[in-house]
Amino acid sequence: MKLFVGLGNPGARYAGNRHNIGFMAVDRIAADHGFGPWKRAFRGVAAEGRLGEERVLLLKPETFMNLSGDAVAEAMRFHKLTPADLTVFHDELDLAPGKLRLKQGGGHAGHNGLRSIHAHIGETYGRVRLGIGHPGHKDAVAAYVLHDFAKADQVWLDDLLRGISDGAPALAAGTGAAFTNAVALRTAPPRPSTGTQPPSRPALADKPPAKAAPLASPDTASPAGDKQTLLERLRDRFR
C-alpha cells in the first residue's frame, strides 16, 4: 500500500486557502479515480482506492497543519508502512504559482506541516511540492498562505490539479518522470501544429546562359572595339 497525504487545515474557513492546496490535490485524485468515501480515521479523513496496480490510502489530517505528523504517524503504524511508502502533497512558497517539483528526503524548509512529520518519522519520505509563489516579504507569509486563491489563479490551479490526477497512477508506481510529464501536459501543453509547412526556397538550378547585352543607346559610352559599329548605325539612321 502507498500513503498519499495532502496537507492543509480542516474546516470551511480554510478550504480555499493557499495553504490547503495539498488537500485539494488528494481530493481531485479521489474524485477522478473512484476512491471510496472519505471516512474519519487516523486523526483525519481517509479514502481508499487503486491507482493502476497500487492500492493507495489518501489521508487529510484534521489535526491542523502544525500537528500533521500525528495523523501521518498513526496511519503508518496501523498499515505497517515505511517512509518510502509515503508521499506528501504540500504548498511551496519557493516555487512560482502552478509549478510542481518532486523531492525525496531533505529538510522541511520551515514548513510547519513537514516539520511535524519530520519529528515523527524522519525526513526520507517523498514530497510533491506545489508552487503558490511568495508574497515578497517573510512578514507577509502567514497572511498570504491563509488567504484564498484569487479568481485569477483558478485557471492554472485547475490545470495543476488535473495534471496531478492524470499522473497519480505513475506516481504510485514510482515513476516520477511519467508523473511530472502528465502534469506538464496540462500546465504547459505543446502548441498545436498549424498543419502547414513554411514555403521552401527553390532548388538552385544550373546557371542560365547570359542574356545578350542590349544595344547601347547613343548617349551610352561603349568600349573601344564597338565604336565603329555605333558610328555606322548612326550614319545609317540619318541617311
The predicted structure's pLDDT at residue 221:
44
* Domains in the chain, number: 1
Residues 6+ apart with CB under 8 A from 81: 1, 3, 75
- Residue 191: pLDDT band by 50, 70, 90 thresholds? confident
Confirm whether 134 is a catalytic residue: no
Instruction: Identify whether 195 is part of a domain.
Output: no
- Domain assignment of residue 92, given as a range: 2-187
Instruction: Identify whether 231 is part of a domain.
Output: no
| Sign of the C-alpha dihedral computed for residues 142, 28, 170 and 62 taken in this order | positive
For residue 175, the surrounding DSSP H or E stretch is: none
Instruction: Identify whether 201 is part of a domain.
Output: no
Instruction: Identify whether 175 is part of a domain.
Output: yes
Per-residue pLDDT tens digits for 116-150: 999 999 999 999 999 999 999 989 999 999 999 99
CATH number at residue 157: 3.40.50.1470
Instruction: Identify whether 210 is part of a domain.
Output: no
Instruction: Identify whether 230 is part of a domain.
Output: no
Of residues 216 and 105, which shows the higher confidence score? 105
Instruction: Identify whether 199 is part of a domain.
Output: no
Catalytic residue among 19, 33, 90, 111: 19
Instruction: Identify whether 122 is part of a domain.
Output: yes
- Residue 157: what are its φ and ψ, rounded to 5°? -65, -45
Q: Where are the alpha helices (DSSP H) in 33-153?
A: 68-79, 112-121, 141-145
Query: Would you say residue 222 has pLDDT above 60?
Result: no
